[in-house]
A and B are shown apart, each in its own frame.
Chain A
Amino acid sequence: MICQRCNKKEATGYMETTINGIKKRVYVCPECFKQAQLEMYSSYDDMGLFSGLMGVPGAKAKCSKCGTTLREISDTCFVGCQYCYSEFGDRLKPLLRNLQSAQMHIGSGPDGEKSDEIAELNGRLRKAVEAEDYEQALKIQEMLKKLKGEEK
């Protein structure tokens, strides 16, 4: 049987997922299994951080540049300065996921044409993933890596 996630490799096991209350069995290859575990772990991790926010530790953390606390940001949705984004890093992600259901910028940037190209590739990448065309998605990811690598 072929893996139902990547549709390429031989499936060696299965995972059970519940979508809208319906249990579904998905047959996967070892690599896709690992990937799925990682995704699950990172989503648990976010939840852990989020409950950490409620229970204050971390919420008192201050931006070293402007003094805004994580608690203030989560209460108001306002940051104090641009460095809040980098200082709080991953801890903003659960908030952003709630507000925007996304954690990464797709779209243009100040450097004109190259960022337009990146924006376009990102759009194509999303569509490829939606269409479950993982082969195409990988190709686009490679192109993105090259483009972004040149940036530095």
Chain B
Amino acid sequence: MNENIILSSRVRLARNVDGLPFKRVNTSTIATKAMSALRTTDSYTMYPMTALRPIEQLRLVEKHLISKELIDCGGSAIIRSDNKVSVMIGEEDHIREQCILEGLNLHDAYAELRHIDKVLGGEFKFAFSSTYGYLTSCLTNVGTGMRASVMMFLPALSLTGSLNKCISGVTRLNMAVRGVYGEGSEAEGYVYQISNQKTLGISESDIVASVENVANHIVESEIKARAALMQTDPDGLKDKILRSYGILCNCHAISKSEFMKLIAFVKLGVYYKMLECADMAALESFIAEIQPASLCLDTGGMTSGGERDKLRAEKCYKLRQIITRTGG
């Protein structure tokens, strides 16, 4: 049942064009060149941030296709039509290649990126030194320029209060943990991202292996915590899960934070087989659709918070098609 715990895997490579300063450089020519190199291999679309409305920019962030920093820097995104590969131009580094795949799949994500990296490496000479590896704007990325991360759904570790212990253990292994949705320390929807911190003095395959290893350990702890949660109060838990499902399917207006809390219990319900979900990926993209910017775009423009909450509730009606109650 790993797909209920590890949502997605992402690998990112930071690259810079040899000879250009890292800051205050016009990256639009880099974007055009990168686009023409990439489009010979597959179907890509370029999105210059300056040509997008703020709401369209945010939607790309909500879909994990670009970073907020790219918007601030006014760079461009080149996104493959399957939404698995995106190349950001003019972020902290000139070029950032990333690949996101479902489930625990860092190996394939990296293999995919190596191909992209070769294509772009044919177009540009990358700033590289044999001592420091790929030279990056921030010292925390130099070397491989590689960040491998997994997005994990960890409700039971959070609810049983053992997440902090888990996080401090992971931090000691040179890994970083952060909440994916929401600001600050409390992660909305119990979704966390675990990634490597070290990029220098470690090979790409060792980074992949170490993140995967840590992710697998956390999966084990989460499974144990889920069993413990069930054992402590089975009736209370089942009630909470079914009520969450009931509210989501039958509300008139719902805020994002309430939605995230309830959907977490619905996902737990799928894990415990109290609820049935035919397509977990569909559920995840449903959650992305419910985020504020995506909701606004669907209505064709900015809407007020109150309007959004009603719209969100309306969309939640669709949840019945993705998730059903099991008998018993």
CB-CB under 8 A from B202, the residues of chain A are 102, 106-107
Q: Secondary structure of the A side of the interface?
A: loop
Interface residues of A in 74-100 (CB under 8 A from B): 77-82, 85-86, 92, 95-96, 99-100
A122 lies within 8 A of chain B by Cβ: yes
Given contacts A96-B139, A101-B198, A106-B203, contact A82 B131 (CB under 8 A): no
A19 lies within 8 A of chain B by Cβ: no
Considering the chains assembled together, what is the distance between the CA atoms of A143 and B125 in angstroms?
27
A13 lies within 8 A of chain B by Cβ: no
Considering the chains assembled together, what is the distance between the CA atoms of A151 and B130 in angstroms?
11
B111 lies within 8 A of chain A by Cβ: no
Considering the chains assembled together, what is the distance between the CA atoms of A85 and B200 in angstroms?
14
Considering the chains assembled together, what is the distance between the CA atoms of A17 and B198 in angstroms?
28
Stretch at the interface among B18-26, B242-250, B261-269, B290-298: B18-26
What residues make up the interface of B, taking CB atoms closer than 8 Å to A? 16, 18-23, 118, 121, 125-135, 137-140, 142-144, 146, 174, 198-206
Closest chain B residue to A67, Cβ basis: B21
Q: Is the CB of B201 within 8 A of A101?
A: yes
How many A-B pairs have beta carbons closer than 8 Å: the answer is 109
**Interchain nearest-CB distance for A52 vs B (Å):** 18
Q: Is the CB of A104 within 8 A of B201?
A: yes
**Interchain nearest-CB distance for A44 vs B (Å):** 21
Given contacts A99-B140, A107-B144, contact A122 B203 (CB under 8 A): yes
Considering the chains assembled together, what is the distance between the CA atoms of A6 and B135 in angstroms?
35
**Interchain nearest-CB distance for A23 vs B (Å):** 26
A55 lies within 8 A of chain B by Cβ: no
Q: Is the CB of B140 within 8 A of A100?
A: yes
Considering the chains assembled together, what is the distance between the CA atoms of A110 and B128 in angstroms?
8
Given contacts A104-B200, A123-B205, contact A82 B22 (CB under 8 A): yes
Given contacts A109-B133, A112-B118, contact A73 B139 (CB under 8 A): yes
Q: Is the CB of B135 within 8 A of A82?
A: yes
Q: Is the CB of B21 within 8 A of A105?
A: no
Considering the chains assembled together, what is the distance between the CA atoms of A142 and B200 in angstroms?
22
CB-CB under 8 A from A80, the residues of chain B are 21-23
Q: Is the CB of A148 within 8 A of B130?
A: yes
Q: Is the CB of B139 within 8 A of A110?
A: no
Considering the chains assembled together, what is the distance between the CA atoms of A101 and B143 in angstroms?
12
Closest chain B residue to A63, Cβ basis: B21
- 30 example contacts (A-B, Cβ-Cβ < 8 A) are as follows A65-B21, A81-B20, A82-B16, A82-B18, A82-B19, A82-B135, A85-B135, A96-B142, A100-B139, A100-B142, A101-B201, A102-B198, A104-B201, A105-B129, A105-B134, A105-B200, A105-B201, A106-B143, A106-B202, A107-B133, A107-B203, A107-B204, A108-B144, A108-B204, A109-B133, A109-B134, A110-B126, A112-B118, A120-B203, A123-B205
Q: Is the CB of B130 within 8 A of A100?
A: no
Chain A to chain B: the 6 pairs with minimum beta-carbon distance, closest first = A102-B201, A105-B133, A82-B127, A100-B200, A82-B135, A81-B21
Q: Is the CB of A77 within 8 A of B203?
A: no
Which has the most chain A C-beta neighbours within 10 Å: B128, B130, B203?
A: B203
CB-CB under 8 A from A85, the residues of chain B are 129, 131-132, 135, 142
CB-CB under 8 A from A106, the residues of chain B are 143, 201-203
